[in-house]
Structure 1
Amino acid sequence: MLTSLSIKNYALIDHLHVDFNNGFTIITGETGAGKSILLGGLSLILGKRADLSSLRDKESKCVIEAVFDVTNYNLESLFSTEDLDFEPQTIIRREILPSGKSRAFVNDSPVNLSSLQLLGNRLVDIHSQHETLQLVDDAFQFQVIDALANVANDLNVYSQKRKEYITLNKALNQLVAFQTEAIKEHDYNLFLLNELTQAKLKSEELESLEEELETLSNIDAIQEKLTASNQLFSDEQIGVLNNVTELKNTLKQLSSISNKYEELYNRVNSSLIELDDVFSELERFQEDLEADPNRLQEVNARLTLINNLFQKHVVNSIEDLITIQAQLLEKVSATENVDADINTKKLEIAKAQQELDAIALVIHNKRKKAIPVLKIKLEAILAQLGMPNAQFNIVLNITNTYYPNGKEELNFLFSANKGGDFKPLKKAASGGELSRIMLAIKSILTQYIKLPTIMFDEIDTGVSGEISNKMADIMAGMSTTMQVFSITHLPQIAAKGHTHFKVYKEDVNEITTTNLVQLNHVERIVEIAQMLGGIEVSNSALAHAKELLN
């Protein structure tokens, strides 16, 4: 509920602070006294766009601050979503700077207008005869039906199931799109994969092949060098082995003379053993070495194949080709398996659709049961408000479309006269009738859900005295479960309020200022008497005012 409102430097308001109570609050005042200014200031708190022209003093900033008791409004999740600190006594402040910039704060945290509007919609509902478009809005009509049908939990389940259904359909569309695109590339990818698979690539074979090619290409030169090397080892005159053997024998003789020669002998003997082993290797290499034109052709062909694959796939290592082969295998397999994936996804969608249809049907049946109840209540209240022939035909049709709030389309059809045709509300009801219908609906909603503070702005325009009594009773009844404001010109409504404020203008130093003051019991009698009979208050008007208040 709105507990206090402060306005500084706004339009004709210099500085204003007022505290409000729960229940039914009346605001009265002469035409032009500034009631619309008060509403304009409150609208800024609720997220309306600021206008520099509203500054009273163009050199100073305008500050509007409202305090709300949000203890029972279940707004914790909204505060969390908007990254705001939740406080049971929430303070909203709006500032308009002389530069034209506007700032908004919730509990001293800066917020943007969209966040402020989200919060404002949950705190105050300003309703006037010119603001009944909400009544013909599908979302609002469903909100009314759903309040009576008590389907909030069912709608949460439906919303979750719908999200799952949409997600599954999106995944199916992605699979189908992938399939369409993959089919175009499948044959080529399969060709590339088969080419790489048939190549039977090994990660380290390139170095081995290049070495083998070098050997086979230079077989004669290698043979010549090996033969020369063997001769250097085995020649009887200058052969390495003979000379080193002779050296070993000489040192053997010296080692018998002195131990200091034995170490040299051992070293030469070790060298001779190593050289003999090298000679054996050379002989084996020479024996194994032979020209093999066929193998040379095979190696050349293998290297050509590998290099061609390098060029085709723009890589320079067999490891890269093996990686590409794995990727191609994955693509080809995915393409070949996508039919199975699509069928699986379709089965999942069918199951999700069954669950979605089931909860949608539960919601539909509950709504159908609620419609006659709403119809009876609405027509009964409207009869009290001077519309005895008002009739509703509320049509609920189930469709094949999954809307955010169910599978139905809703039509509020209305007839104000006996024997009249039922037509959509916006075509069948006048502004005054729409206003009374809205009042009836809001009064019914208070029996089922927690509504925000509501401010009725002269919805009683053009209403007779007897009907205004009924309107006042309805608003007073609503105020037992919520905070209700009524800006009115009718004494019958003003007398039913629990608290009464008067908006008035006064001239101070040739400057006109709008003020708001709470009236005591005596002041209320005078104010209501003036509303009955004009500025010159008669005894009969005072007596009538007292009677109304009693």
Structure 2
Amino acid sequence: MLRHLYIKNFTLIDQLDIDFHTGFSVITGETGAGKSIILGAIGLLLGNRADSKQIKRGEKKCTIEAHFDLSHYNFESFFISHDIDFDPEDTIIRRELTAAGKSRAFINDTPVSLQDMRTLGEQLIDIHSQHQNLLLQKDDFQLNVVDIIAQDGKVRNDYKISYQLYKTAEQRLEDLKSQLARSQENEEFMRFQFGELDGANLVEGKQEMLEQESETLSHSEEIKSAFYETGRLLSSDDVGIIYQLGQSIDYLSNVSNVYPKAQEIVQRISSAHIELKDIAADISNEVENIDFDPSRLDDINQQLDQLNTLEQKFHVSTEKELIEIRDSLASQLKSIDNSDEELESLEQDVKEKQIACEQQAKKLTALRQKAAKAIEKEMAERLVPLGIPNVRFEVSLSAKPLSADGADKVQFLFSANTSTALEPVAQVASGGEIARVMLSLKAMISGAVQLPTIIFDEIDTGVSGKIAQKMALIMQEMGNHNRQVISITHLPQIAALGSSHYKVEKKETSEGTNSNMRELTGEERVTEIAQMLSGADVSDAALQNARELLNLSVKK
């Protein structure tokens, strides 16, 4: 629950530093005193959009910080998954805004994204404002209420997985149909292109090899002449290098007996002599092998011309890319050739997954139907004491095509009179009736969802007297069992039933308008409720009525 709220330099608030309590609390104050400002500040802790204009004029920064006691709730997994220190008895959420437009969010002094703050904040506080009554017009809200009461989380998750598999299979089938339609339109041209590429006998590296061979054949005479002259210099009689090395070996061998160092040089020259004789033999063979073949050169150039033409035609620069295009065309043509089998296989897969999804949807529908009956019963029990004795409340479940949230369309139908037909609640209920319906729904939901704090912003619009008192009793009930309910109200019947009472006031100072909130003492509560009963001029009768209302709340 919310234990402490600190606000500094936010719109009309200089500084607000206040504690909150468990159970049912009320906030009162004149219209325009700043109650909406406080709600706006709390909304920033829930991840709402920030605006630098919300900073108090003349200040550079504003801060909103809330302390929560989460010791009775299961929030540890959130903190573990986000690598945030967890102190269940004092969890701190802070939002900072600067005049430069920067916004920073923190959970337990750890910087977090706004999305992470929103994810946690939505699990900590539910703010019910008057505009939330419009949710009764929305199918997803009504379905969500049914799901909460049905406690169908596991079945709903199983359905979502099954639905996703079904839609993925369906998308694969549609993609194949689209691909085949496009391919069949271009089939003749694709076969022509594939024939060109396939006929070129493409092999990776072949183009480079042909280019090298073409270069060799184009310079064959020059190459042969170079090898011939090299061979002549090595092997010619009397003047060749090999002959002269042999002579050198003979000269030095003749003196090796009288000059031993000559023998070492002889050995070294002999090694070079043997190596050069091998080289000369290789050169001689190359001279015999190198020959100019005009027909081979023409054939190579034709192949290279074909490859260059294909690369220009297909707008690529390498043979590897041509191979990729060829293989892609082959795959597409294979798909066309095997399209009937592939289509049949995918259609069967879609059918099987649709059946599996429909079976999961039926399980979900069964739980929702059971929950719908429970909702109808509980809503009637809650609305009759709230001044709608002839109420009829029905949860209509009708079939709809498989969708992300199941196969059920939910509508809340309502009638306040026996003679009036059941109609969608948002269309036929008055403002006061809608307020009572929403309060009853929230009370019912709060029993199924462990939400630490619920704030009602003038949920009592359109009601008064005993009905308001009974609404307050419902909020009291909601505040039990480690929950916290805070009601912003203009009605003394509701204000008197709060276990804690806060007042929002606006004062004019020399530095401008300032809004603040404080917790009222016992006598201050009497005066405040008396003012709510009689206006600015508090009479003795009003004070007596206020005490009676407060005494009544104590007895209850």
State the alpha-carbon separation in 2 of the partners of residues 167 and 67 from structure 1: 44
C-alpha spacing 1:55/1:537, structure 2 compared with 1 (3 Å): farther
> Which stretches in structure 2 are left out of the alignment for 5+ residues?
264-268
Equivalent residues in 2 for 1:56-135 (5 A)?
56-59=56-59, 61-71=61-71, 74-75=74-75, 87-88=87-88, 89-98=90-99, 102-110=103-111, 113-135=114-136
State the alpha-carbon separation in 1 of the partners of residues 176 and 311 from structure 2: 30
Counterpart of 1:474 in structure 2 is: 474
Q: Quick check: 1:441 aligned with 2:441?
A: yes
Equivalent residues in 2 for 1:283-322 (5 A)?
299-314=296-311
C-alpha spacing 1:78/1:188, structure 2 compared with 1 (3 Å): farther
C-alpha spacing 1:543/1:111, structure 2 compared with 1 (3 Å): closer
Query: Is contact 2:307–2:319 with CA below 8 Å preserved after alignment?
Result: no
State the alpha-carbon separation in 2 of the partners of residues 491 and 457 from structure 1: 15
Q: Quick check: 1:537 aligned with 2:540?
A: yes
Equivalent residues in 2 for 1:301-380 (5 A)?
301-314=298-311, 323=320, 326-328=323-325, 330-338=327-335, 339=339, 341-380=342-381
Query: Is contact 1:471–1:493 with CA below 8 Å preserved after alignment?
Result: yes
Which letter does structure 1 place at the counterpart of 2:37? I
C-alpha spacing 1:464/1:342, structure 2 compared with 1 (3 Å): same
State the alpha-carbon separation in 1 of the partners of residues 470 and 159 from structure 2: 40
Mean Cα deviation higher: 504-513 or 425-434: 504-513
Query: Is contact 1:8–1:64 with CA below 8 Å preserved after alignment?
Result: yes
Deviations 1:499-527 (A, max 9, x none): 22233455666966444332344544454
State the alpha-carbon separation in 2 of the partners of residues 174 and 542 from structure 1: 72
Query: Is contact 2:210–2:300 with CA below 8 Å preserved after alignment?
Result: no
1:139 aligned counterpart, secondary structure: helix
2:517 aligned counterpart, secondary structure: strand
Equivalent residues in 2 for 1:389-404 (5 A)?
389-403=390-404
Query: Is contact 1:155–1:363 with CA below 8 Å preserved after alignment?
Result: yes
Query: Is contact 1:533–1:541 with CA below 8 Å preserved after alignment?
Result: no
| Larger Cα-atom Rg | 1
**Alpha-carbon distance, 1:51 to partner:** 5.1
C-alpha spacing 1:72/1:164, structure 2 compared with 1 (3 Å): farther
**Alpha-carbon distance, 1:378 to partner:** 1.1
State the alpha-carbon separation in 2 of the partners of residues 324 and 102 from structure 1: 50
C-alpha spacing 1:56/1:443, structure 2 compared with 1 (3 Å): same
State the alpha-carbon separation in 2 of the partners of residues 150 and 478 from structure 1: 19
Which letter does structure 1 place at the counterpart of 2:303? I
**Alpha-carbon distance, 1:43 to partner:** 2.8
**Alpha-carbon distance, 1:465 to partner:** 2.0
State the alpha-carbon separation in 2 of the partners of residues 285 and 103 from structure 1: 79
**Alpha-carbon distance, 1:415 to partner:** 2.4
2:201 aligned counterpart, secondary structure: helix
State the alpha-carbon separation in 2 of the partners of residues 62 and 204 from structure 1: 73
Q: Compute the TM-score of the two structures, normalised by the length of structure 1.
A: 0.76
Query: Is contact 2:5–2:65 with CA below 8 Å preserved after alignment?
Result: yes
Query: Is contact 2:311–2:319 with CA below 8 Å preserved after alignment?
Result: no
State the alpha-carbon separation in 1 of the partners of residues 207 and 399 from structure 2: 65
> Which stretches in structure 1 are left out of the alignment for 5+ residues?
none
**Alpha-carbon distance, 1:143 to partner:** 1.1
Equivalent residues in 2 for 1:392-541 (5 A)?
392-403=393-404, 405-481=405-481, 482-505=483-506, 513-533=514-534, 535-538=538-541, 540-541=544-545
**Alpha-carbon distance, 1:326 to partner:** 4.5
Q: Compute the TM-score of the two structures, normalised by the length of structure 2.
A: 0.76
Query: Is contact 2:435–2:461 with CA below 8 Å preserved after alignment?
Result: no
Deviations 1:148-207 (A, max 9, x none): 222111121222233333334444444444445555353133212331239997985776
State the alpha-carbon separation in 1 of the partners of residues 327 and 203 from structure 2: 18
C-alpha spacing 1:532/1:548, structure 2 compared with 1 (3 Å): farther
State the alpha-carbon separation in 2 of the partners of residues 480 and 172 from structure 1: 54
State the alpha-carbon separation in 2 of the partners of residues 330 and 179 from structure 1: 17
C-alpha spacing 1:324/1:63, structure 2 compared with 1 (3 Å): closer
2:372 aligned counterpart, secondary structure: helix
Query: Is contact 1:398–1:409 with CA below 8 Å preserved after alignment?
Result: yes
**Alpha-carbon distance, 1:445 to partner:** 0.9
Deviations 1:429-455 (A, max 9, x none): 222221111101011112222234111
